[in-house]
Structures are given as structure tokens and as C-alpha cells.
């Protein structure tokens, strides 16, 4: 800025006014400063400005996997809110590793982020998160809570959504409905399993553990597990998929099968191109954009000094019928 002031023949204060877009500057001085800025290639040192002001004007977001379409949509919503508050967003993936998640939270805190939105990895240390809150960190949980940690949390109705999806299949005559869900240590997976079981109980259908797979869909033995369920003496005529990754994995597996007919399918969570397949995939849709928006607004409220009791916001799901879930039992 001193170089710009010297080149333009104005004071440092005038340059500061132009760079920050505040106060009145005469048209002549404004033009001279802008010409000098262009000639010198000046860019404001944002980091230095933030250090002087005592804020980094950034927030952090730690998710399971930023490549997952659900989380990428959520991330964009958080970013939009952050930019609206003149903040930048730093995002990282925990890969469901609690140690990595802890390292990321610590690293972002060390970089002076104003607050954090976190999807807790399975097995996260509640004591560590309580210590972060006690140290003054503004912390919001999204998609999953952490037992024993009093913080704002934004969730979807996982049980209710899974119950709706399973009941939809029962309504089309299916009594042998399988459930393929994520690792049972993941909060959303266990909640959706409970919703499936609740729907079974409401329909008067006994729970059969042989119809259930609880594992990450990227596991080595996923194909074998699917085949074992489909090869049962009394195989399922319908499947409730526990998340978008399971839905995609299942559809790829079924494509390579040589069977007279495919089972009816309802997937929990929408995914790209699900509406252009034939038939389209019936889904229990979440709204990750709304989840991200609400979580970010809650975070900025906490960062601004809001000390009201923590909130637990639970969003509803929506059943979208596209054909795969409407196949009647053979």
C-alpha cells in the first residue's frame, strides 16, 4: 500500500480508503490510485488484515467425504451462507476415521476459524468435543449427533424416512423386504435400520436378520453379501437401500445378474440420474441443502454471541415415486 501511495502521489490513508471501498475519495485521486494498483499488480494481503482485526473471517466444515453428492450439496449451501456473512469456508473429509477427524478439527482451530460445522466420524471422542466447546469454539453437528455433547445439531428424520420407504414396499404386496445399510456404528445407519424394523412390526411381519446387510457399500465382500441374500430359499422381492452409495452399488450389481426379474427398490436419499433410469428409482429424499443452510446460520448466530440453549433441528424426508418401488410382488 505504501508503494501504491508513492506511485499515485497520495497518502497511505487515501489508498486504504480506495482498497476498502469506504469514505469519500475524489475522482482524480481514485483514478490515480487505481492506475497505480493496476501497474504494480497490488493485491490486498487478506491474512495480514485479518490478523490486525483479530479474526480470520473463515469457518470450517468437516464431513465424511466431500466427494459424496449428499455432502457436496450440503457444502455448497454452507458456502453460500458463509459468503453472505463475508466469510470463507475451509472444508475437509474425515473418511469416517475418528483420529483423522480430531486432527482436522484441531488443525482448523489452530488456523483460527471462527467456528466449525462437523459431521462426527463414527467413534468420535465426546470428551474431546466437549473440551473444544469449553475452549470457546462455536460447534454445530450436522447429519449426526454426538451423545453427551450439548451442541446445536441438524438432522433428518432417519427412522421416519426408512419406515416410510419400507411401508411403501409392503403396500405393494412385498412381505420379504431386505435392508442394505451402512456400518452399524454409523448413527444414520442404525436409525434407518430401526425405521425398517418399526415398519415390519407395524405390518405384522417378523424381522429376519438374514435379509439385512450392515456394512459400508465399498467393502470387499459386498457382492458376496448381496448374492447370499438374493440366493436365500425364500429370497426378498424388494430391497430398501440405506443410502445413496448403497443404491448405486446395488444397481450395478443387479445389472450383471441374469434373473427373471429384479426386486423392487426404494433408496434412502436421492442420487444423480436416479430419475432417468428405467424404471426410475423411487427414493426417500433428504434435503442436504436445507441442512447445510440451517447449520451455517446456527453457527453464525453462535459466533455472534448467542448463548440460548442448544437446538436439535430435525428435517422431514419426502417419498418420491419413480417406478422401482412400485413393482408389485411377483
- The predicted-structure confidence for 47-60, as pLDDT tens digits, reads as follows 555 555 545 689 99
This model's pTM is above 0.85? no
Cis peptide before 234 (omega within 30 of 0): no
Q: How many domains does the chain have?
A: 3
CATH of the domain at 305: 3.40.50.2300
Query: Has residue 69 been placed in a domain?
Result: yes
Q: What percent of the chain is modeled with pLDDT above 90?
A: 77
- If asked whether residues 166 and 213 sit together in one domain, one would say yes
Convert the pLDDT of each residue in 119-157 to its tens digit.
999 999 999 999 999 988 999 999 999 999 999 999 999
- If asked whether residues 226 and 305 sit together in one domain, one would say no
Query: Has residue 111 been placed in a domain?
Result: yes
- If asked whether residues 162 and 231 sit together in one domain, one would say yes
The answer to whether 34 and 18 have CB atoms below 8 angstroms apart is yes
- If asked whether residues 163 and 125 sit together in one domain, one would say no
The phi, psi pair for 7, rounded to 5°, reads: -65, -35
Convert the pLDDT of each residue in 17-63 to its tens digit.
888 777 678 888 888 988 998 888 887 665 555 555 545 689 999 99
Q: How far apart are CA 6 and CA 50, in angstroms?
A: 24
The answer to whether 229 and 178 have CB atoms below 8 angstroms apart is yes
Query: Has residue 49 been placed in a domain?
Result: no
- If asked whether residues 213 and 303 sit together in one domain, one would say no
- If asked whether residues 171 and 263 sit together in one domain, one would say yes
- If asked whether residues 60 and 40 sit together in one domain, one would say no
- If asked whether residues 273 and 162 sit together in one domain, one would say yes
Q: What is the dihedral of CA 129, 296, 95, 286, to 10 degrees?
A: 120
Query: Has residue 14 been placed in a domain?
Result: yes
Query: Has residue 330 been placed in a domain?
Result: no
- If asked whether residues 127 and 67 sit together in one domain, one would say yes
Q: What is the dihedral of CA 175, 210, 147, 93, to 10 degrees?
A: -100
**7: its cell numbers:** 506511485
Per the structure, the complete domain to which residue 241 belongs is given by: 158-286
Average pLDDT rounded to a whole number, residues 89-111:
94
- If asked whether residues 204 and 264 sit together in one domain, one would say yes
Q: How far apart are CA 93 and CA 77, in angstroms?
A: 17
Query: Has residue 169 been placed in a domain?
Result: yes
Query: Has residue 203 been placed in a domain?
Result: yes
- If asked whether residues 146 and 232 sit together in one domain, one would say no
pLDDT at residue 29, rounded to an integer:
87
* Dihedral of alpha carbons 133, 134, 135, 138, sign: positive
- If asked whether residues 109 and 178 sit together in one domain, one would say no
Query: Has residue 104 been placed in a domain?
Result: yes
Amino acid at each position: 500500500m505504501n508503494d501504491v501511495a508513492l506511485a499515485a502521489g497520495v497518502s497511505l490513508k487515501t489508498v486504504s480508503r480506495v482498497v476498502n471501498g469506504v469514505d469519500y475519495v475524489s475522482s482524480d485521486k481514485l483514478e490515480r490510485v487505481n492506475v497505480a494498483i493496476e501497474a504494480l499488480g497490488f493485491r490486498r494481503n487478506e491474512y495480514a488484515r485479518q490478523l490486525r482485526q483479530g479474526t480470520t473471517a473463515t469457518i470450517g466444515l468437516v464431513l465424511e467425504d466431500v466427494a459424496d453428492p449428499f455432502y457436496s450439496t450440503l457444502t455448497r449451501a454452507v458456502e453460500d451462507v458463509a459468503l453472505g456473512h463475508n466469510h470463507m469456508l475451509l472444508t475437509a473429509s474425515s473418511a469416517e476415521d475418528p483420529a483423522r477427524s480430531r486432527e482436522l478439527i484441531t488443525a482448523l482451530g489452530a488456523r483460527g476459524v471462527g467456528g466449525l460445522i462437523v459431521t462426527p466420524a463414527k467413534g468420535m471422542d465426546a470428551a474431546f468435543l466437549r473440551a473444544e466447546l469449553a475452549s470457546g469454539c462455536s460447534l454445530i453437528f450436522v447429519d449426526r449427533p454426538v451423545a453427551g455433547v450439548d451442541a446445536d445439531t441438524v438432522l433428518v428424520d432417519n427412522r421416519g424416512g426408512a419406515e416410510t420407504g419400507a411401508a411403501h414396499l409392503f403396500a405393494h404386496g412385498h412381505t420379504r423386504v431386505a435392508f442394505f445399510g451402512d456400518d452399524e456404528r454409523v448413527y444414520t445407519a442404525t436409525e434407518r435400520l430401526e425405521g425398517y424394523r418399526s415398519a415390519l412390526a407395524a405390518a405384522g411381519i417378523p424381522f429376519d436378520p438374514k435379509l439385512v446387510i450392515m456394512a459400508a457399500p465399498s467393502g470387499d465382500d459386498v457382492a458376496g453379501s448381496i448374492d447370499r441374500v438374493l440366493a436365500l430359499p425364500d429370497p426378498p422381492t424388494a430391497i430398501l437401500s440405506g443410502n445413496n452409495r448403497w443404491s448405486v452399488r446395488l444397481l450395478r450389481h443387479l445389472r450383471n445378474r441374469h434373473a427373471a426379474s429384479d426386486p423392487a427398490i426404494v433408496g434412502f436419499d436421492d442420487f444423480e440420474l436416479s430419475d432417468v433410469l428405467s424404471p426410475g428409482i423411487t427414493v426417500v429424499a433428504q434435503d442436504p441443502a436445507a441442512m447445510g443452510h440451517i447449520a451455517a446460520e446456527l453457527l453464525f448466530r453462535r459466533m455472534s454471541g448467542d448463548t440460548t440453549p442448544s437446538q436439535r433441528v430435525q428435517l422431514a424426508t419426502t417419498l418420491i415415486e419413480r417406478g422401482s418401488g412400485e413393482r408389485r410382488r411377483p
